[in-house]
């Protein structure tokens, strides 16, 4: 038994020792593994830290393209000078974008392998709307910043906001800024083709693409120069009329005026396209007005029939106030402020307030004066018991006034200074007087059918009788009284304007050309004989017939007129082309030289005009071997000094020693002989250079220059020189209107200073041979006087339009009638009209009526707070009512801020009337509506774009009290699960400029529905840290400490955060922007004795730290701590003594058991 137990114990001990040995070896191996793992972990930690630092540095320069952000804060990058300059080459690169969706392309000489990056920045430029702003940087392959030194680099920016502006054909500008606060420098040459902005850049930092954003600021000031309203508008917005500021008593608002004293009328119209921002200052202006109201009767409640407007201190004039007593036996004798007055007030004036006057009416009779063509004399009344007085005498041109008569035929003269017991009409008597009239004499023109003024004289006769013009037939030599234009006697007008025209026609004369032929005689005697003998008498050969003593009868020969050469023409008519040698179609050819007397030796070879009485030329036979030729050369119109042959005179002669005489230098119309170029007087004929038998001369005539003189009365306005026969069709012009005749009409140019006949017509005309004056005629304008019966009964003939020459007078028609009204005279432009007034413009005379009805004005608050108010005073139609002030208790309706004026239409599209204005009453009751100033405001909507604020609202609406003013963005705190709020944009998709709270913007009124700021979100990442404790010795109740840090995409790093986890617990790190980097480290001492692994997805590493870079998705990181215990064998490090102690303890227990068993066995 003992042996058996002993063997068992020995076996057990051996087994224990073996297990201990094995455990010792395994633990030793484990310890070595742990040591190796820890060493590896430490090395990995250092490597990871270095890698993390490297990634952070890389992040500061680049962004994963998957990161969605519009915000980036660039880090300063140090530029290192190197000994070797980088090699440059032509290349095109695209910049890496940090936020936004623009495509920026750079082309030019850059270092080999160059890269570029661009990030949006926030800038503002006064007067510009920023579409896009990017900070652009170029790097060489070593990461150094590159700036071009010699050649500019072409930059192209393709951006959604820019493309939209280009689609709208907006003006695009590009600015360069060294930094966000620097002064912008405009790039001068910018290309905007193909929806891309392109320009050359000489250095790189911030480039800004803009469109103009100009505004007009309207500042409104009251009478005390206080700013009462301000409106800021951009193009297309509408300016509202502001509340009308109150003026002083008896002041009427006259409108808003600019600093240049121009009345402003731009309310309600869209603002134009703007090229600059400007401020328009408008000041309220008032006019002073005091009213005098004329009552229809002595009752204080009687209606108002007439209103006058005055300034303070002005004298009140009552003479032209329309009034009808309604009784032919009563007369208005004046007006009084006292309704019960018996006598009119005298010398009334305005004394700081309106005045109401009442008529003072007395019994009276009327005298009506009919001037019968003379000036108007107004009717007068004579009070009962008073005596009549002689009025001012009328006048009538050309007549003498001979008194007033009781009948139109003027048979019974009226006696004044007597009492009048009835209404009467008196008629003016006129006697004609002698007045002057003008007789104008005209002479027929030589070369056309017109007439020119020859003279004039003044004659006289009695007004209204016929002229008696008699003129001698031989008044002018070479002329006779016209038989086709006989004298037409005229009625003599009293104003001296009568003109009688007398016409003289030119006498008709002949130029005859005569030739002598041999005379033939027949003998008459007892017998005729049978022989013939020729005898010479006086150089003429005659034939003799007969034996000796008979008579001779002439049969023919002698002086004969060559009929086909006879020239018949008016005195002075141009006949130069009819000289025999210059005519064609004749029966034979005639010489050019003709004797001026039958047997003389003086010859003439041409003629200019028909002489007085006509003349004769005599044929001279010419023959011989020589041709004597005289050439006449005329200067051309081309002003180059050239001459052209006009005609040549030739004759035959056996002599060639002819010399020139004065007759050779005959006149040619419009030309003068050039004695320097022409053959001299007495010069012998020279041999023609092209012919041996032709001798002669050349005569040169210069073209004369004449003047057209333009006169306006005695003033020489201009002189124009033209060569004879030059074109003068454009010589005429319209002169400036002379002083005092500004409204006269230019009636053309006339060839006489009396301006008689027809105006000169320049069309197709050439310059005549002589100076000639032209005189401007000014025609006094004629004006139309139109009668507006204003509702009266129409009689087209009695009230037809009258045509009145300037300064003339209109004829007064009979007074019109109208049912229900009394006629109260005629007015022009609202003022009473006197028919003695000279007419100087088109005039409309309006009949005035005193109505038997009365009407009132009602004032409506037009949706404002206040009860309708009725004017307590009534008016006749046509009377002027004073517009009342707004009742003090009335207030503006919602969305309005104050009273502007009254309007005749509720919608405000009628006529405006301001308090204190006068309103002409129609024949009906009237309602005037309050016109309120609209509040010019707009709204801005914060659209949370899928997010919500603290109250779980998805949007927020705010009012903008002053549109286009500087508004500070103040959006609420908003959130969206899984996203980070990064700012606001005007586009829901996030394109365009990213705005932040406290940024400044302008909000207009063009379309409030489009005034929206959209929240922009960037997806966030959650890192979940999970804790697991494993192993036979792992303590699952132990708490383990951790620390984590977060580095955002913009490079900012948060302070470390600590937390603790137990087995199975998780800790989420939330709201991390995409692209963030997270480092988590287990720091607790409780982890000692554990092996630690980090598991992310399917990857497990031995480490106590996790480092995630540029995170784009959620991630779970599991930290696992493992602790197992095994028998000691060669244990090293801290865990081994514990294992050895356990083994020793077990051995001790075994020894104790063995000892105890031995003892029992014994």
Q: What is the band of 519 on the pLDDT scale with cuts at 50, 70, 90?
A: low
Using DSSP, state whether 748 is helix, strand or coil: strand
pLDDT for 1159 equals 53
Residue 999 reports pLDDT greater than 80: yes
Q: What is the band of 848 on the pLDDT scale with cuts at 50, 70, 90?
A: confident
Higher pLDDT, 329 or 462: 462
Half-sphere exposure of 821 (CA within 13 A, CB side): 24
781 contacts 722 by C-beta, under 8 angstroms: no
Sheet strand arrangement including 782-788: 802-805, 782-788, 843-851, 821-828, 831-832
Ranges 156-165, 361-370, 553-562, 720-729: which has the least confidence: 553-562
Residue 945 reports pLDDT greater than 50: yes
Using DSSP, state whether 154 is helix, strand or coil: strand
Higher pLDDT, 1085 or 467: 467
% pLDDT > 70, the chain: 86
Note the pLDDT tens digit of each residue in 1043-1066. Answer: 999 998 877 888 999 999 999 999
Kindly state the DSSP code that residue 1087 receives in the 8-state scheme: G
pLDDT for 99 equals 67
Q: What is the band of 1105 on the pLDDT scale with cuts at 50, 70, 90?
A: very high
Mean pLDDT within 702-710: 93
523 Cβ contact list (under 8 Å, min separation 6): 529, 544, 545, 546, 550, 551, 552, 553
Ranges 51-55, 376-380, 627-631: which has the least confidence: 51-55
Mean pLDDT within 727-732: 95
pLDDT for 616 equals 93
CA distances from 584 to 562, 578, 588, 617 (A): 15, 9, 9, 19
pLDDT for 1087 equals 67
Kindly state the DSSP code that residue 697 receives in the 8-state scheme: E
Best mean pLDDT range from 111-115, 129-133, 794-798? 111-115
Higher pLDDT, 843 or 640: 843
Q: SS3 string of 391-408?
A: CCCCCCCCEEEEEEECCC
728 contacts 790 by C-beta, under 8 angstroms: no
Residue 729 reports pLDDT greater than 90: yes
222 Cβ contact list (under 8 Å, min separation 6): 228, 245, 284
Mean pLDDT within 994-1015: 88
Query: How many CB atoms neighbour CB 42 within 10 A?
Result: 12
CA distances from 347 to 292, 297, 298, 335, 353 (A): 14, 21, 20, 11, 16
1105 contacts 45 by C-beta, under 8 angstroms: yes
Question: What is the rounded distance in angstroms from the CA atom of residue 405 to the CA atom of residue 408?
Answer: 7
Note the pLDDT tens digit of each residue in 228-266. Answer: 999 999 888 999 999 999 998 889 999 999 999 999 999
419 contacts 387 by C-beta, under 8 angstroms: yes
Kindly state the DSSP code that residue 1077 receives in the 8-state scheme: E
pLDDT for 320 equals 80
Residue 956 reports pLDDT greater than 80: yes
Question: What is the rounded distance in angstroms from the CA atom of residue 946 to the CA atom of residue 942?
Answer: 12
Residue 180 reports pLDDT greater than 80: yes
What's the sign of the alpha-carbon dihedral 454, 455, 461, 464?
A: positive
What's the sign of the alpha-carbon dihedral 22, 25, 27, 29?
A: negative
pTM metric for this prediction: 0.50
Higher pLDDT, 303 or 495: 303
pLDDT for 529 equals 40
Question: What is the rounded distance in angstroms from the CA atom of residue 135 to the CA atom of residue 523?
Answer: 139
Long-range contacts of the stretch 991-994 (C-beta < 8 A, 24+): 991/100, 991/101, 991/159, 991/160, 991/161, 992/131, 992/132, 992/160, 992/161, 993/120, 993/122, 993/130, 993/131, 993/132, 993/133, 993/161, 994/70, 994/71, 994/99, 994/120, 994/122
Half-sphere exposure of 1050 (CA within 13 A, CB side): 14
Question: What is the rounded distance in angstroms from the CA atom of residue 800 to the CA atom of residue 250?
Answer: 42
886 contacts 900 by C-beta, under 8 angstroms: no
Mean pLDDT within 600-606: 82
Best mean pLDDT range from 81-90, 525-534, 629-638? 629-638
CA distances from 260 to 173, 226, 240, 475, 598 (A): 34, 18, 21, 69, 91
Residue 528 reports pLDDT greater than 70: no
H/E stretch holding 435 reads strand 434-444
Mean pLDDT within 494-515: 92
Mean pLDDT within 117-144: 89
Q: What is the band of 24 on the pLDDT scale with cuts at 50, 70, 90?
A: very low
Q: What is the band of 81 on the pLDDT scale with cuts at 50, 70, 90?
A: very low
Ranges 49-63, 244-258, 394-408, 1092-1106: which has the least confidence: 49-63
Mean pLDDT within 839-860: 91
pLDDT for 539 equals 45
In this structure, are strands 772-779 and 821-828 parallel, antiparallel, or unpaired?
A: unpaired
- Give 306's strand partners: 294
Higher pLDDT, 97 or 845: 845
Mean pLDDT within 1059-1088: 89
As a dihedral over the C-alpha atoms of residue 77, residue 83, residue 84, residue 85, rounded to 10 degrees, the angle is: 60
Using DSSP, state whether 12 is helix, strand or coil: helix
Using DSSP, state whether 662 is helix, strand or coil: helix
- Give 1120's strand partners: 1028, 1093
Q: What are phi and psi of 1071, to 5 degrees?
A: 55, 40
Residue 590 reports pLDDT greater than 50: yes
Note the pLDDT tens digit of each residue in 855-891. Answer: 999 999 999 999 999 999 999 988 899 999 999 999 9
Residue 411 reports pLDDT greater than 80: yes
Half-sphere exposure of 280 (CA within 13 A, CB side): 21
Note the pLDDT tens digit of each residue in 740-784. Answer: 888 899 999 998 888 888 899 999 999 998 888 899 999 989 999
Note the pLDDT tens digit of each residue in 205-231. Answer: 999 999 888 889 999 999 999 999 999
pLDDT for 1045 equals 96
Question: What is the rounded distance in angstroms from the CA atom of residue 45 to the CA atom of residue 1099?
Answer: 17
Please, is 509 exposed, middle or buried when counting C-beta atoms within 10 Å of its C-beta (0-12, 13-18, 19+)? buried
pLDDT for 323 equals 85
Ranges 64-68, 300-304, 620-624, 994-998: which has the least confidence: 64-68
Higher pLDDT, 589 or 436: 436
| Mean pLDDT over each residue of the chain, to the nearest integer | 84
pLDDT for 522 equals 59
Higher pLDDT, 331 or 1159: 331
Radius of gyration from C-alpha coordinates of the chain: 62
1158 contacts 53 by C-beta, under 8 angstroms: no
Q: What is the band of 556 on the pLDDT scale with cuts at 50, 70, 90?
A: low
């Amino acid at each position: 038994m003992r042996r058996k137990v002993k063997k068992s114990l020995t076996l057990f001990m051996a087994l224990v020792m073996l297990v201990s040995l094995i455990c010792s070896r395994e633990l030793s191996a484990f310890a070595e593994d742990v040591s190796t793992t820890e060493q590896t972990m430490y090395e990995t930690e250092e490597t990871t830290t270095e890698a993390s630092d490297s990634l952070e540095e890389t992040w500061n320069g680049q962004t994963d393209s998957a990161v969605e952000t519009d915000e980036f804060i660039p880090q300063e990058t140090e530029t290192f000078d190197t000994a070797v300059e980088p090699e440059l080459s032509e290349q095109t690169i695209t910049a890496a974008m940090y936020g936004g969706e623009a495509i920026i392309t750079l082309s030019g000489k850059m270092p080999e392998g160059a890269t570029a990056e661009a990030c949006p920045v926030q800038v503002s430029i006064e007067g510009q709307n920023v579409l896009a702003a990017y900070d652009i940087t170029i790097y060489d392959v070593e990461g150094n910043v590159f700036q071009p030194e010699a050649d500019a680099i072409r930059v192209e920016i393709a951006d959604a906001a820019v493309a939209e502006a280009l689609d709208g054909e907006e003006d695009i500008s590009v600015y360069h800024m060294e930094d966000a606060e620097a002064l912008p420098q405009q790039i001068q040459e910018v290309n905007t083709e193909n929806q891309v902005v392109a320009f050359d850049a000489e250095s790189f930092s911030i480039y800004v693409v803009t469109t103009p954003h100009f505004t007009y600021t309207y500042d409104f000031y009251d009478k005390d120069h206080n700013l009462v309203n301000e409106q800021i508008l951009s193009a297309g917005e509408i300016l509202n009329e502001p509340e009308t500021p109150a003026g002083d008593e008896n002041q009427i608002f006259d409108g808003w005026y600019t600093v240049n004293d121009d009345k402003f009328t731009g309310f309600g119209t869209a603002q134009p396209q703007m090229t600059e921002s400007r401020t328009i200052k408008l000041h309220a202006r008032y006019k002073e007005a005091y009213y005098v109201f004329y009552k229809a009767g002595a009752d204080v409640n009687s209606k108002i029939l007439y209103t006058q407007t005055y300034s303070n201190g002005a004298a009140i004039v009552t003479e032209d106030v329309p009034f009808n007593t309604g009784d032919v036996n009563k007369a208005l004798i004046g007006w009084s402020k006292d309704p019960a007055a018996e006598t009119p007030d005298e010398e009334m004036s305005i004394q700081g307030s309106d005045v109401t006057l009442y008529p003072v009416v007395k019994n009276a009779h009327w005298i009506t004066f009919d001037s019968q063509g003379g000036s108007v004399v107004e009717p007068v009344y004579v009070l009962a018991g008073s005596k009549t007085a002689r009025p001012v005498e009328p006048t009538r041109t050309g007549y003498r006034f001979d008194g007033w008569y009781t009948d139109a035929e003027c048979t019974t003269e009226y006696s004044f200074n007597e009492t009048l017991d009835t209404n009467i009409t008196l008629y003016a008597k006129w006697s004609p007087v002698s007045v002057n009239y003008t007789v104008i004499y005209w002479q027929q023109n030589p070369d056309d059918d017109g007439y020119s003024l020859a003279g004039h004289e003044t004659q006289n006769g009695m007004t209204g009788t016929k002229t008696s013009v008699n003129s001698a037939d031989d008044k002018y030599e070479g002329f006779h009284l016209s038989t086709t234009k006989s004298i037409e006697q005229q009625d003599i007008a009293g104003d001296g304007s009568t003109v009688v025209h007398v016409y003289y026609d030119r006498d008709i004369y002949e130029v005859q050309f005569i030739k002598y032929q041999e005379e033939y005689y027949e003998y008459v005697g007892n017998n005729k004989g049978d022989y013939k003998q020729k005898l010479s008498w006086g150089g003429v050969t005659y034939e003799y017939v007969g034996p000796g003593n008979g008579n001779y009868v002439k049969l023919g020969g002698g002086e004969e007129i060559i009929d086909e050469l006879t020239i018949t023409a008016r005195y002075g008519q141009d006949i130069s082309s009819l000289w025999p040698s210059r005519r064609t179609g004749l029966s034979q050819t005639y010489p050019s030289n003709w004797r001026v007397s039958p047997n003389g030796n003086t010859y003439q070879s041409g003629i200019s005009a028909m002489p007085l009485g006509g003349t004769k030329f005599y044929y001279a036979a010419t023959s011989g071997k020589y041709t004597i030729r005289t050439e006449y050369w005329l200067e051309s119109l081309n002003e180059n000094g050239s001459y052209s042959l006009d005609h040549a005179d030739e004759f035959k002669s056996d002599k060639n020693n002819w010399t020139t005489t004065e007759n050779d230098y005959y006149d040619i119309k419009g030309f003068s002989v050039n004695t320097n170029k022409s053959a001299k007087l007495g010069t012998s004929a020279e041999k023609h250079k092209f012919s041996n038998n032709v001798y002669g001369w050349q005569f040169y005539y210069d073209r004369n220059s004449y003047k057209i003189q333009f006169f306006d009365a005695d003033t020489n306005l201009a002189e124009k020189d033209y060569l004879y026969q030059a074109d003068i069709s454009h010589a005429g012009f319209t002169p400036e209107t002379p002083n005092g005749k500004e409204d006269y009409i230019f009636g053309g140019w006339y060839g006489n200073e009396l301006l008689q006949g027809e105006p000169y017509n320049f069309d197709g005309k050439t310059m005549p041979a002589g100076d000639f004056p032209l005189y401007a005629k000014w025609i006094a304008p004629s004006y139309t006087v139109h009668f507006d019966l204003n509702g009266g009964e129409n009689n087209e003939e009695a009230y037809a339009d009258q045509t009145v020459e300037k300064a003339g007078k209109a004829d007064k028609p009979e007074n019109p009638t109208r049912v229900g009204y009394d006629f109260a005279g005629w007015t022009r432009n609202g003022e009473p009209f006197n028919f003695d007034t000279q007419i100087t413009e088109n005039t409309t005379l309006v009949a005035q009526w005193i109505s038997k009805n009365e009407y009132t004005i009602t004032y409506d608050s037009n949706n404002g707070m206040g009860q309708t108010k009725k004017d307590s005073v009534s008016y006749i139609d046509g009377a002027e009512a004073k517009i009342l002030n707004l009742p003090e208790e009335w207030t503006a309706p919602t969305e309005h801020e104050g009273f502007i004026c009254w309007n005749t239409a509720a919608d405000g599209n009628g006529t405006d009337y301001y308090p204190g204005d006068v309103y002409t009453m129609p024949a009906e009751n009237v309602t005037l509506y309050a016109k309120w100033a609209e509040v010019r405001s707009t709204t801005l909507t914060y659209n949370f774009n899928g997010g919500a604020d603290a109250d779980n609202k998805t949007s927020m609406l705010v009012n903008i009290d002053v549109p286009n003013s500087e508004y500070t963005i103040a959006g609420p705190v908003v959130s969206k699960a899984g996203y980070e709020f990064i700012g606001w944009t005007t586009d829901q998709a996030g394109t365009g400029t990213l705005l932040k709270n406290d940024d400044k913007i302008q909000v207009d009124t063009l379309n409030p529905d489009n005034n929206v700021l959209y929240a922009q979100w960037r997806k966030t990442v959650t890192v979940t840290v999970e804790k697991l404790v494993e192993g036979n010795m792992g303590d699952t109740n132990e708490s383990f400490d951790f620390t984590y840090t977060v580095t955002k995409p913009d490079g900012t790093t948060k302070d470390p955060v600590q937390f603790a986890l137990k087995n199975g617990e998780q800790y989420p790190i939330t709201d991390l922007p995409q692209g963030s980097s997270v480092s988590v480290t287990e720091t607790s001492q409780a982890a000692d004795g554990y092996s630690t692994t980090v598991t992310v997805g399917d990857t497990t590493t031995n480490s106590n730290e996790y480092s995630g870079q540029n995170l784009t998705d959620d991630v779970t990181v599991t930290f696992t701590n493992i602790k197992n215990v095994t028998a000691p064998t060669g244990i090293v490090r801290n865990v081994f003594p514990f294992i050895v102690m356990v083994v020793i303890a077990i051995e001790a227990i075994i020894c104790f058991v063995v000892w105890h068993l031995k003892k029992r066995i014994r």
